[in-house]
Structure 1
């Protein structure tokens, strides 16, 4: 195999993109540059500086990889003649910027002196948006040639080195500028900039049509891991498509459609690797993902994975665990996916599996099982729990052994920190309250996935109130002093002492103390100690309530 270095001017690149001769292998990552990176590249070109080189694979009669067009480029055209292995971000930015087909930005050539380069022009962009019943993009001035020129800004697509763009510029300048002399002067400046783009050379290295698929893939991986590192997921995507002609991007996209709430818990891309490794009975490590047979086995077990994803999300919602922001440990997600993927469906067999997985879930939340060595322990838990879940055998899983992974005592629960932080035990306590209902203290609404977006972390004993009592911050910001309530309730309570705001709740309903006590009970909040304004006694009493419920859940029962 020989790699040949070549030159190619930007108009030639654009012709190939426009006619779909140059496309991307599907395993490439998607467009990633933000508008500031795009702007920086354009201004580098205006300074007559290089922006790097590309890499293409020449195509014969048949494409070796599944392909797609560059973002914003025509999807129909002539026969594909080359796959762009490296240079996607640069060419996509050049194409979209010079055609102004970004959804939320418009790029302009500013005919003002650039303070950094001292050039009499530079490229920049502005945000665009719709509002209410607008018939035009905002800001409105950006749609009007005269208003654009008042700011000395010319839409960048009018500078593209193409005959049609030149004609569009002539129409624009007539509408934007009244004086012919000024039109001529500006046209000369624009011609200079257009020539910079027309003569811009983006060199590339070319792999010949005789290059084997695996060789092209190896070159792609080596080039990308040395310059802009690929993730392991990117490499698995590439290997899967090279070896089997299947798109992992498509599979993961289907997963999002089948189970749209999955992303609330875990990245579908990462889960596809982690969960698939466990289903294969292998450790979820880079070595596993890079193994030659990993992609093939991933495809073989994909239906099991999808089944596990759907049932896991249903299970978590039934356990009232709604999102990653309140998840004590995310290691449970791939383990649950692998186990629910093989769990029996229906009647007592599913009931048995559910009880085992409930016990696993809550012990994982409350014990130190995943404090370290998470990959090996995740595999061990899958391996040990699988025969119990499927009913094919017996085992004594490590996660169920109190001697190895004891549950916290009441004092440990009382010492747990503020759950907004990534504190496993603090979040486990909050999760337990949500599991029990987590009703809002004022409106009585239960915690749901939708309502959590409107809820805030509330001090049951307000922090200002406790500070007046001389309580230190480390004793104020405790999980036992926290409940999720609506922002309206949080603002209404403010810094009032508990007896006062509970009285307001009691007076606000005809049901009196019974309703207030019922709402508190859904959080395992002791009423008497709150009314007595006895903070130490409150912490102790709530720790006891949480501990009792925890023991029941971690034994596989309910709350």
Structure 2
């Protein structure tokens, strides 16, 4: 078969967008559904608005709908009003184009995407110095309102230096943009008889025009952003197209930043970074439980040189100083791992955010091995850690914000007599800017096996409290957690039968696989009875308390035929009460932890948890 050249062809995102819009580009059904998490989506969108190069996508040409080689589907949420003629199947590039399409309509349920522009940020502490994509988590409160409310308010978003990324959508959005600008700036328009009205009006119109110009400039950049493609002709046999798809998804292994820095260290410092890494692994065997050692080496070394722990900061590091700092790096990573274990966080799978790792490791350069000051300093590290788990500070720009927090913490630690007046200077501990998660936010946190910070934070609270297994009573530890699974407290099958969402962190407990396997679709009451038969009711009740689960609530959870609307309503009501009660107890524990205190299990169960929204 004669194949056409593999030379990449240019195509703008505007053209890709309109192809999706009119239904001429579709996905073979063998492709997995969208799988990018919010971090990868944000990174991709940042690449687009920064006009940075991007890899090619792969398409298979199609000679009309009747000649499609594969059963196909539209890109997620793309539903053309009129089915057009299919001219291409997207073999590789689905995640990028799906993220682009959905962001241009901002139709993700649990997050909204904005563009942050520092020139428009009116707050005392700006979120950053550069334009970037900003993601905000969303949830519904008990009244059904989508929170936070400010994310849907043009005035509040512009005051934060934000505008919806959907305003960059290719095509005519003139009316949408004008309406948003009116709502965002209406409060700045002066009354005719207001003092200084003319000057204020000029400032008002200048701001509107500047925002409009910036948005239109970005719109043009997005519309003409080049996403090149390789094309297989329509005559390509099905098996060949599949093989090319597999090769493009598995054979690419680009040179990493670490590989580049290894070469620089060897040329500048005459040392082998690989050898140093091997020694570090031997001396600090627990550090790699939390992240790849090479990632920890680069990010922590950057902070030790007062650089932001991102690619730019790592590239700018002095490689000789990296080697000279090795003792501080090694000691910091060893103590970081021990500190996290003391806080009930035992491995990467249970770590809510990796942004804290280099910060904590680099801080140990200023913390002694023994003495009262170590205890005082680690109390502050505890406040920092749990604030990172239960505020939204590290949802965006985590590297630059980790750097800002590290600089403030470093300043505090340099004064061994530090007190609350000094601690207030650490940005993440400013509760006005970064309040702790409310019960409504905790209730919306998704399944903790994913990458959600608050979802994993909820599990971390329970492992801090020992999270004893329902059956064998073993407390959480690194070795023990390797045998545990993410278990639905109200069984997944039970809730699915009633069409109630089950993948929530508050509906999860880490228990051993043997315990998990026997639960199945049973009502919570049924598997509780089995545990009680073995260990006794009081013992099981106490084990569940370490997970902040109310035994008595589950003991009432028995349901008949879920074809009966009354039974479904009872299940829905019981499940909501269970979630709210557990959320209240988690929130109470978080208050202790983020204040540098140890939550007392007895205190957490002294009275029913109050649900504060």
TM-score range, shorter chain: 0.5 to 0.7
Report the CA distance between 1:390 and its aligned residue.
4.3
Report the CA distance between 1:484 and its aligned residue.
0.7
CA distance in 2: counterparts of 1:466 and 1:494, whole angstroms: 12
1:486 equivalent among 498, 509, 512: 512
* Equivalent position of 2:493 in the other structure: 464
CA distance in 2: counterparts of 1:383 and 1:439, whole angstroms: 38
* Equivalent position of 2:318 in the other structure: 294
1:498 aligns with 2:524: yes
* Equivalent position of 2:361 in the other structure: 337
In the TM superposition, what are the counterparts of 1:14-413 in structure 2 within 5 Å? 229-291=254-316, 294-392=318-416, 394-395=422-423, 396-413=425-442
Structure 1 runs of 4+ aligned residues shifted over 6 Å read none
Rate the CA distance shift 1:444–1:307 in 2: closer, same or farther, 3 A: same
Rate the CA distance shift 1:528–1:541 in 2: closer, same or farther, 3 A: same
Task: Find the residue that maps to 2:487 and give its secondary structure.
Answer: strand
Kept after mapping to 2: 8 A contact 1:304/1:342: no
Kept after mapping to 2: 8 A contact 1:462/1:494: yes
* Equivalent position of 1:421 in the other structure: 450
Task: Find the residue that maps to 1:493 and give its secondary structure.
Answer: coil
CA distance in 1: counterparts of 2:584 and 2:577, whole angstroms: 11
Report the CA distance between 1:345 and its aligned residue.
2.3
Rate the CA distance shift 1:538–1:258 in 2: closer, same or farther, 3 A: same
CA distance in 1: counterparts of 2:592 and 2:494, whole angstroms: 34
In structure 1, list runs of 5 or more residues that go unmatched.
1-226
Rg comparison, structure with higher value: 1
Task: Find the residue that maps to 1:447 and give its secondary structure.
Answer: coil
Task: Find the residue that maps to 2:450 and give its secondary structure.
Answer: coil
CA distance in 1: counterparts of 2:526 and 2:355, whole angstroms: 42
Report the CA distance between 1:404 and its aligned residue.
1.3
Task: Find the residue that maps to 2:510 and give its secondary structure.
Answer: strand
Report the CA distance between 1:344 and its aligned residue.
2.2
Rate the CA distance shift 1:442–1:229 in 2: closer, same or farther, 3 A: closer
Report the CA distance between 1:520 and its aligned residue.
0.3
Kept after mapping to 1: 8 A contact 2:462/2:547: yes
CA distance in 2: counterparts of 1:228 and 1:498, whole angstroms: 47
Kept after mapping to 2: 8 A contact 1:356/1:388: no
Structure 1 residues 146-201: Cα deviation after superposition (integer angstroms, max 9, x where no partner)? xxxxxxxxxxxxxxxxxxxxxxxxxxxxxxxxxxxxxxxxxxxxxxxxxxxxxxxx
Report the CA distance between 1:385 and its aligned residue.
0.8
CA distance in 1: counterparts of 2:325 and 2:445, whole angstroms: 40
Kept after mapping to 1: 8 A contact 2:269/2:323: no
CA distance in 2: counterparts of 1:539 and 1:399, whole angstroms: 27
CA root-mean-square deviation:
1.7
* Equivalent position of 1:544 in the other structure: 584
Task: Find the residue that maps to 1:329 and give its secondary structure.
Answer: coil
* Equivalent position of 1:450 in the other structure: 479
In structure 2, list runs of 5 or more residues that go unmatched.
1-251, 558-573, 600-613
* Equivalent position of 2:71 in the other structure: none
TM superposition score normalised by structure 1: 0.57
Report the CA distance between 1:294 and its aligned residue.
1.2
CA distance in 2: counterparts of 1:305 and 1:296, whole angstroms: 14
CA distance in 2: counterparts of 1:479 and 1:465, whole angstroms: 17
CA distance in 1: counterparts of 2:387 and 2:315, whole angstroms: 32
Aligned residues: 327
Rate the CA distance shift 1:547–1:285 in 2: closer, same or farther, 3 A: closer
CA distance in 2: counterparts of 1:524 and 1:556, whole angstroms: 20
Task: Find the residue that maps to 2:268 and give its secondary structure.
Answer: helix
Report the CA distance between 1:380 and its aligned residue.
0.7
1:433 aligns with 2:462: yes
* Equivalent position of 1:52 in the other structure: none
CA distance in 2: counterparts of 1:378 and 1:318, whole angstroms: 21
2:594 equivalent among 538, 545, 554: 554
Rate the CA distance shift 1:249–1:463 in 2: closer, same or farther, 3 A: same
Kept after mapping to 1: 8 A contact 2:367/2:377: yes
Report the CA distance between 1:556 and its aligned residue.
0.9
Structure 1 residues 268-295: Cα deviation after superposition (integer angstroms, max 9, x where no partner)? 112111101101111123333333x611
TM superposition score normalised by structure 2: 0.52
Structure 1 residues 177-229: Cα deviation after superposition (integer angstroms, max 9, x where no partner)? xxxxxxxxxxxxxxxxxxxxxxxxxxxxxxxxxxxxxxxxxxxxxxxxxx974
Kept after mapping to 1: 8 A contact 2:307/2:314: no
Report the CA distance between 1:486 and its aligned residue.
0.7
* Equivalent position of 1:518 in the other structure: 542
Structure 1 residues 467-498: Cα deviation after superposition (integer angstroms, max 9, x where no partner)? 34x242x2x11111100111110112222211
Task: Find the residue that maps to 1:405 and give its secondary structure.
Answer: coil
Kept after mapping to 1: 8 A contact 2:286/2:334: no
CA distance in 1: counterparts of 2:314 and 2:523, whole angstroms: 55
Report the CA distance between 1:362 and its aligned residue.
0.8
CA distance in 2: counterparts of 1:321 and 1:532, whole angstroms: 32
Task: Find the residue that maps to 1:370 and give its secondary structure.
Answer: helix
